[in-house]
Structure 1
Amino acid sequence: MYNILDFTLEELQSWMKENGESAFRAKQVFSWIYKDVWNFDDMKNIPGTLKEKLKENFNIEIPKIVEVYESNVDDTKKMLLSMKDNNLIECVLMKYKHGNSICVSTQVGCRMGCKFCASTIGGRIRDLSAGEILSEIMVAQKFLGERISNVVLMGSGEPLDNYDNVVKFLNLANAEYGLNIGQRHITLSTCGIVPKIKELADLNLSITLAISLHAFSDEKRKTIMPIANKYSINEILEACRYYMDKTGRRITYEYSLVSGVNDGKEDAKSLAKLLKNMSCHVNLIPVNEIKENELKRPSRKTIEAFEEILKSQGIEVTVRREMGTDINAACGQLRRSYLDTQK
Structure 2
Amino acid sequence: MQPASSPPSPVNLYDLPRTALGELLAGWGYSAFHRDALWEALYRQQVDSIDALEGLLRPDLVKRLREHSFLRRPAVHHESFSSDGYTHKLLLRQHDGQTIETVLMRFKGRATVCVSTQAGCAMGCVFCATGQMGLARHLSPGEIVTQVLHVTGILRQSGESLRNIVLMGMGEPLHNYDATMEAVDILVDQLGLAIGPRFITLSTVGVVPGIRRLADEDRPVQLAVSLHGATDAERAALVPVGKRWPLDELMEACRYYSEKRKRRIFFEWTLIAGKNDTAEQGHALGRLLQGMDAHVNVIPLNPTVGYGGTPSSPESVRTFQDVLASYGLPSTVRQRRGIDIDAGCGQLKAAVERQRRSLPATPREAS
1:190 aligns with 2:204: yes
Q: What residue number does 2:95 align with?
A: 84
Deviation (angstroms), 1:67: 2.3
In structure 2, how many angstroms separate the alpha carbons of the residues matched to 1:21 and 1:203? 30
Q: What residue number does 1:176 align with?
A: 190
Corresponding residue to 2:16 among 7, 26, 31: 7
Deviation (angstroms), 1:259: 1.3
In the alignment of these two chains, the number of paired residues is 343
**Residue type of the alignment partner of 2:202:** L
Corresponding residue to 2:115 among 104, 116, 120: 104
Deviation (angstroms), 1:97: 3.0
**Residue type of the alignment partner of 2:169:** G
Q: What residue number does 2:239 align with?
A: 225
Bigger Rg, which one? 2
Q: What residue number does 2:254 align with?
A: 240
In structure 2, how many angstroms separate the alpha carbons of the residues matched to 1:119 and 1:306? 27
Equivalent residue of 2:163, what SS?
A: strand
Deviation (angstroms), 1:98: 4.5
In structure 1, how many angstroms separate the alpha carbons of the residues matched to 2:82 and 2:90? 11
Cα distance per residue 1:51-106 (max 9 Å; x no partner) = 22211211211111222211113511111111111210011111123521111000
For residues 175-324 of structure 1, what are the structure 2 equivalents within 5 Å?
A: 175-324=189-338
In structure 2, how many angstroms separate the alpha carbons of the residues matched to 1:9 and 1:293? 43
1:62 aligns with 2:73: yes
Q: What residue number does 1:51 align with?
A: 62
In structure 2, how many angstroms separate the alpha carbons of the residues matched to 1:41 and 1:270? 59
Corresponding residue to 2:129 among 111, 118, 134: 118
Equivalent residue of 1:121, what SS?
A: helix
Are the counterparts in 2 of residues 268 and 306 from structure 1 also a CA contact under 8 Å?
yes
Are the counterparts in 2 of residues 74 and 324 from structure 1 also a CA contact under 8 Å?
no
In structure 1, how many angstroms separate the alpha carbons of the residues matched to 2:326 and 2:17? 48
1:26 aligns with 2:40: no
Are the counterparts in 1 of residues 222 and 265 from structure 2 also a CA contact under 8 Å?
yes
**Residue type of the alignment partner of 1:188:** L
In structure 2, how many angstroms separate the alpha carbons of the residues matched to 1:300 and 1:13? 53
Cα distance per residue 1:12-32 (max 9 Å; x no partner) = 222222123344222112211
Cα distance per residue 1:173-206 (max 9 Å; x no partner) = 1111221101111100000011110011011134
TM-score norm. by structure 1 comes to 0.97
In structure 2, how many angstroms separate the alpha carbons of the residues matched to 1:162 and 1:102? 19
In structure 2, how many angstroms separate the alpha carbons of the residues matched to 1:73 and 1:311? 32
1:41 aligns with 2:55: no
Q: What residue number does 2:82 align with?
A: 71
For residues 156-171 of structure 1, what are the structure 2 equivalents within 5 Å?
A: 156-171=170-185
The answer to which of 327-336 and 30-39 deviates more is: 30-39
Deviation (angstroms), 1:9: 1.8
The runs of at least 4 consecutive aligned structure 1 residues that moved more than 4 Å come to none
Are the counterparts in 2 of residues 14 and 23 from structure 1 also a CA contact under 8 Å?
no
The answer to which of 95-104 and 285-294 deviates more is: 95-104
Are the counterparts in 1 of residues 16 and 182 from structure 2 also a CA contact under 8 Å?
no
The answer to which of 91-100 and 18-27 deviates more is: 18-27
In structure 1, how many angstroms separate the alpha carbons of the residues matched to 2:350 and 2:324? 35
Are the counterparts in 2 of residues 201 and 242 from structure 1 also a CA contact under 8 Å?
yes
Are the counterparts in 2 of residues 206 and 249 from structure 1 also a CA contact under 8 Å?
no
Equivalent residue of 1:139, what SS?
A: helix
Are the counterparts in 1 of residues 117 and 173 from structure 2 also a CA contact under 8 Å?
yes
In structure 2, how many angstroms separate the alpha carbons of the residues matched to 1:315 and 1:45? 53
% identical equivalent positions: 37
RMSD: 1.3
Are the counterparts in 2 of residues 74 and 323 from structure 1 also a CA contact under 8 Å?
no
Are the counterparts in 1 of residues 50 and 70 from structure 2 also a CA contact under 8 Å?
no
Are the counterparts in 2 of residues 104 and 133 from structure 1 also a CA contact under 8 Å?
yes
In structure 1, how many angstroms separate the alpha carbons of the residues matched to 2:56 and 2:352? 42
TM-score norm. by structure 2 comes to 0.91
Cα distance per residue 1:238-282 (max 9 Å; x no partner) = 101110111111000000011111111111111111111111000
Unmatched 5+ residue regions in structure 2?
Answer: 1-9, 358-367
**Residue type of the alignment partner of 1:40:** I
In structure 1, how many angstroms separate the alpha carbons of the residues matched to 2:342 and 2:94? 20
In structure 1, how many angstroms separate the alpha carbons of the residues matched to 2:98 and 2:219? 31
The answer to which of 307-316 and 234-243 deviates more is: 307-316
